[in-house]
Amino acid sequence: MTEGVTYRSEYVVVGSGPGGATVARGLAQVGRDVLLLERGKDLRKSWYYGTYLGALLYSDRMSFLYSAEGLNIIRPLMVGGATSMYCACAAPPPAWLKDSYGIDIDEEVVDTIKELAIAPLAPELRGRASTRLAEAAQALGYDWQPQDKFMQPQRAHPFRCRSTCMLGCRCGAKWNAAEYVDEAVQAGAGLRTGAGVERILVEDGQITGVQGTMGGMPFAVRADHVILAAGGIGSPRLLQASGFSAAGEGMTMDTTVMIYGFVNDQGIGNEPPMTWSFEHGEAGFMLSSLIDPWLNYPLIMSQKGLKYPLTWHRWNHIVGVMIKLKDEISGGVYADGRISKPMTTRDRERLALATAVSNRILVEAGAEPSNLFSTPLRGTHPSGTVRIGALLDKNLESETKGLYVCDASVFPEALGRPTVLTIIGLGKRLVRHLLTEDQVT
Ligand SMILES: Cc1cc2nc3c(=O)[nH]c(=O)nc-3n(C[C@H](O)[C@H](O)[C@H](O)COP(=O)(O)OP(=O)(O)OC[C@H]3O[C@@H](n4cnc5c(N)ncnc54)[C@H](O)[C@@H]3O)c2cc1C
């Protein structure tokens, strides 16, 4: 491949999700020369951002991306990465990250909570039916708590968050990593959108830059440091294309399934998603209030069989519990484009237990016991494909000098909880490390 136009930068960051945006912003704000490359576009101002059509257009394979086993993977590709479609839930990093892997991001997390005003929604915004669900769980002894959010309802015009929040935020309440991208650019970082990186350039064991295509034309960036933040699927693919064959072996997903039940009164579809959550650390699952948006519901349920989409007219009367499993490392992202994520025996046991608990809660909340059902399995947290300890050291550096990875792919195990706060913490820590390293050399 010819290089085409060649740029030069001290640091090049690939991908503008929470990992890449945090690193680009942090480096630019202290005057470093940074170029941020993103394969998607900035669609926040487009008329279709946050609509059903938009969600199809900016998700990989129009949301029809499946693992070999049939797990539906949602992978947004645009400025801000998956925070363009996330539910804005925030959770601190799991204790094992520090205790078992020696990675302490407590300071960075506290700083982020303060900076982005992370907190649960006010009681009157959590939704009546969602709150009733949480109260039912509490009555059974499950300690559901108001979920911390990357949301500031006072920014909204007006606040009208409901299950469609997952298509993209149209009311302005939800924080998106694209805001860190804006701040990086204001601080002097270069940003190229529509810039798909295809290869990493290495000479004599030292990183020298990246190569890719922008607007159909080849380009290259020569850089002293490359930070891959292309996400749990993008980063291993880039590494594989550059000869790092061990990347992408094994994957975590926090595999997700919704359990639904019908109630006589209002369901939770017109309420913000995930306003209440419960983490069962020991059993390895998390539960939250959530149902799929109105138009997604029949499409998703048709994968289960004809009788399910026929319940569409009762969408307004559904209460739903979302199960997020801390799944084991399995399958992987392969060089031929395939993705595999089989459920292990332990995953299945965890899912069976989580389903039994969810069923009890739904019935306690008033759902008809004979009418409980689950959605097909889904994956919204592709991660653990370039793991710390396997391919990266504690400072997120690979064995190629100057090549770092900072995104969900670095997780050494499944988080089993919302990822973004941990990724931002890792990004801020990496910035600190890069600046310290620079002073030493
Ligand atoms: C529907 C949904 C709901 C979610 N809800 C929550 C939630 O409530 N809370 C939470 O914490 N997490 C949530 N998540 C998960 C969270 O959003 C992701 O785990 C997180 O955004 C991952 O961050 P990242 O930096 O690893 O990569 P991503 O956010 O995936 O960003 C990677 C970026 O890299 C770009 N890219 C990929 N390949 C290339 C390439 N070759 N060249 C250039 N650019 C490239 C992509 O276009 C993308 O913009 C949700 C995810 C989804 C899909």
**pLDDT tens per residue across span 118-150:** 999 999 999 999 999 999 999 999 999 999 999
pLDDT value for 3: 62
pLDDT value for 2: 57
pLDDT value for 248: 98
Domain containing 207: what range? 5-440
- Residue 168 amino acid letter: G
Q: Is 382 in the pocket of ligand 1 (CB under 6 A)?
A: no
Distance (Å) from CA 233 to ligand 1 centroid? 9
Distance (Å) from CA 81 to ligand 1 centroid? 4
Of residues 202, 197, 203, the one with CA closest to residue 218: 197
Distance (Å) from CA 136 to ligand 1 centroid? 33
Distance (Å) from CA 20 to ligand 1 centroid? 10
Q: Is 408 in the pocket of ligand 1 (CB under 6 A)?
A: yes
Q: Is 420 in the pocket of ligand 1 (CB under 6 A)?
A: yes
**Closest C-alpha residue for ligand 1 atom 50:** 86
pLDDT value for 440: 66
**pLDDT tens per residue across span 342-399:** 999 999 999 999 999 999 999 999 999 999 999 999 999 999 999 999 999 999 999 9
What six digits make up the tokens of 283?
């059993």
- How high does pLDDT run on average in the chain? 97
Parallel/antiparallel/unpaired status of strands 403-405 and 217-228: parallel
Query: Which stretch of DSSP H or E encloses residue 320?
Result: strand 318-325
Q: Is 88 in the pocket of ligand 1 (CB under 6 A)?
A: yes
The phi, psi pair for 390, rounded to 5°, reads: -100, -55
Instruction: Count up the domains in the chain and report the number.
Output: 1
Reported confidence tier of residue 157, pLDDT bands at 50, 70, 90? confident
pLDDT value for 437: 84
Distance (Å) from CA 306 to ligand 1 centroid? 32
Query: DSSP letter at 187?
Result: T
Q: How much of the chain, in percent, has pLDDT values that exceed 70?
A: 99
**Closest C-alpha residue for ligand 1 atom 14:** 86
**pLDDT tens per residue across span 203-238:** 999 999 999 999 999 999 999 999 999 999 999 999
Parallel/antiparallel/unpaired status of strands 276-280 and 373-374: unpaired
Inter-axis angle of helices 178-186 and 18-29, nearest 10 = 20
**pLDDT tens per residue across span 87-123:** 999 999 999 999 999 999 999 999 999 999 999 999 9
Distance (Å) from CA 41 to ligand 1 centroid? 14
Q: Is 424 in the pocket of ligand 1 (CB under 6 A)?
A: no
Report how far residue 34's alpha carbon sits from residue 376's, in angstroms, rounded to the nearest whole number: 42
Rg (CA), the chain: 21
Q: Given ligand 1 and candidates 77, 79, 386, which is best to mutate, with the most ligand atoms within 8 Å of its CB?
A: 77
Distance (Å) from CA 177 to ligand 1 centroid? 9
Parallel/antiparallel/unpaired status of strands 318-325 and 256-262: antiparallel
Atom from ligand 1 closest to the CA of residue 238: 41
**Closest C-alpha residue for ligand 1 atom 49:** 81
**pLDDT tens per residue across span 14-40:** 999 999 999 999 999 999 999 999 999
Distance (Å) from CA 260 to ligand 1 centroid? 26
* CATH number of the domain encompassing residue 292: 3.50.50.60
Contact 144, 278 (CB under 8 A): yes
